[in-house]
Amino acid sequence: MLLASAAANRKRVLIADDDTAVRAALAAVLESEGYDVDVAADGRQAVLHATAQPPDLVLLDLNMPNVDGWMAFTKLDHVCPLLPVIIITARPHQYKEAVRLGVDAFMEKPLDFPVLLRAIRKFTHEPEKRHTDRITDRGFVTRLLKASNSNHS
């Protein structure tokens, strides 16, 4: 019975990235941390997966075929406005757009897994009010996730 309740409390993360290796690496790390993982190879799949079975958080790449990450975020934000989204991208200089759109957090690749995992833990365990603030608080600013060694020059 204890295992069933632990499984019911597991958080679900949707990974949307067109790079199979990135999806596999993220899935392996998240599964080892106790998350249930769903994957999508493009923005269209991400929106379909998230609307069919809403995850607790989405990791969203920007440069994907069919529907890119920005369009996918816009669609997700429309149908699941309280769903936390972390943009993960190799595209430089996209943070300002993330702030403009109101994304929860933003990280450039290569990913710093410890920093990313802390953010995922925080977003998947915080109260719904925090997610409401993202869409109602004019002072909300997208969290920029940086590699832990980037602040040490």
More confident residue, 102 or 106: 106
Beta carbons of 39 and 12 less than 8 angstroms apart = no
The confidence score (pLDDT) of residue 151 equals 42
Query: Is the pLDDT reported for residue 3 higher than 60?
Result: no
**pLDDT of 152:** 37
Between 151 and 82, the more confident residue is 82
pLDDT for residue 141: 84
The three state secondary structure string of the chain is CHHHHHHHCCCEEEEECCCHHHHHHHHHHHHHCCCEEEEECCHHHHHHHHHHCCCCEEEECCCCCCCCHHHHHHHHHHHCCCCCEEEEECCCCCHHHHHHHCCCEEEECCCCHHHHHHHHHHHHHCCHHHHHHHHHCCCCCCEEECCCCCCCC
* Higher local confidence (pLDDT), 137 or 58: 58
- Say what the pLDDT of residue 47 is: 97
The domain 47-146 is classified under which CATH number: 2.40.160.20, 3.40.50.2300, 3.90.480.20, 3.40.50.10280?
Answer: 3.40.50.2300
* Domain map (residue ranges) of the chain: 47-146
Q: What is the mean pLDDT of the chain?
A: 89
- Pairing relationship of beta strands 36-40 and 12-16 according to DSSP bridges: parallel
pLDDT bracket for residue 139 (50, 70, 90): confident
Question: Higher pLDDT residue, 135 or 103?
Answer: 103
Which comes out higher in pLDDT, residue 4 or 123?
123
78-95 residue pLDDT tens: 999 889 999 999 988 999
41, 73, 106, 118, 135 from 102: Cα distances, Å: 23, 10, 10, 20, 8
| pLDDT for res 43 | 96
Q: What's the average model confidence in pLDDT over 62-88?
A: 94
Find how far residue 103's CA is from the centre of its chain.
9
